[in-house]
Amino acid sequence: MKKVLFATTALVATAGVAAADVTFGGYARFGVAYTDDVSADTNSTDVTSRFRLNIDATAESDAGVTFGARVRFQQNNSDEGTVDAGADDEFGTDDDVKTGGPAGTKMNGARFFARSGGLEVGVGNIYGAIEFMPGMYPIDLGLTGLGYDYTAYAFKADAYQSGSSGAAGSNGVEVMYSMGDFGMHLSASDTNDRVAAHVSYSVAGYTFALGGQDSDSDADTEFAVSASGTMGPADLTLAYADNGTTGKRTVLAATFDVGAATNVQAYVADDDSQDDTGYGIDFNHSMGGGTSLRGGVAKRLNGDTSADLGVRFNF
């Protein structure tokens, strides 16, 4: 992500602030998407596109505490689904997991934070402890995500929202802490009175995570666990979540490098609330300069088939 500096110490009104800046970054994608809807007995092939612009503002106090906020402008060309959740790549996870939202440009609710060392406190449009847990987004399939059946918690927990509902949909508070190979995350929100937490630990190239959530909804995630690491030529992740009355979901996902600039991702997912097994495969080919050619196909847990192909570029 290229940074554009809009404010420096020369623009700060008080000498007690060491630095302040505003940065722009994001991505755009365009291509074609195919859907075979078995329940409606219809299929369609359409142009799909998205433009996303993240705006991050930070300032640092004399004591070394960083205060900041993020908002997002996003435009989709069409309704790509009903899920609008995902993690941000600021913390190592690809934020292309967000889908859905009707056509048009939206500005989401802001997330505010204060950070010092390994401790961060966030308020507003929070990330959410279960959604941000290692292993919940093991891959980023195709150009558009192709339904995200490989997300074990099934979007039944708080998450950073890209749509205009972000200000109200995930308004909450969270505490994140990391020290060496250990990490923890605690969050709470007004949505179903959710309170969630996860802990993670990395050892010998493997990462293990355990999370739980309490809420007023029987359809929310109650428990999640994941393990990930490299075995031979593949990066593997095994994840499981008990999503209450929504069902228990198990996911096995893998990423393989097939060349200096190309990788292949695949997954298998089982959900006891669905009759079908979900599975999919894709390719991602880097063309340099933050651009990539991407495409994939997935057989959904609901029996639908989705496929896409297109170009993504980061900026």
Q: pLDDT digit string (tens) for 230-282?
A: 999 999 999 999 999 999 999 999 999 999 999 999 999 999 999 899 999 99
Q: pLDDT digit string (tens) for 145-172?
A: 999 999 999 999 999 988 766 655 558 9
Q: What residue spans define the domains of the chain?
A: 9-314
Tokens standing for residue 217: 């909804």
DSSP label of 11: G
Q: What is the pLDDT of residue 252?
A: 98
DSSP label of 277: P
CA 140, 142, 146, 149: dihedral to nearest 10 degrees?
-40
Contact predicate 306/35, CB 8 Å? yes
DSSP label of 166: H
Q: Specify burial of residue 146 (Cβ count, 10 A radius: 0-12, 13-18, 19+).
A: buried
pLDDT average, residue stretch 196-202: 98
Sequence-distant (≥ 6) Cβ neighbours of residue 127 within 8 angstroms: 87, 88, 91, 111, 158, 159, 160, 174, 176, 185, 187
What kind of architecture, by CATH, is found in domain 9-314?
Answer: Beta Barrel (2.40)
Q: What is the pLDDT of residue 78?
A: 58
Instruction: Name the 3-class secondary structure at 186.
Output: strand
Tokens standing for residue 12: 């700060």
Q: pLDDT digit string (tens) for 48-71?
A: 999 999 999 999 999 999 999 999
Residue in 249, 296, 297 with CA at minimum distance from that of residue 276: 249
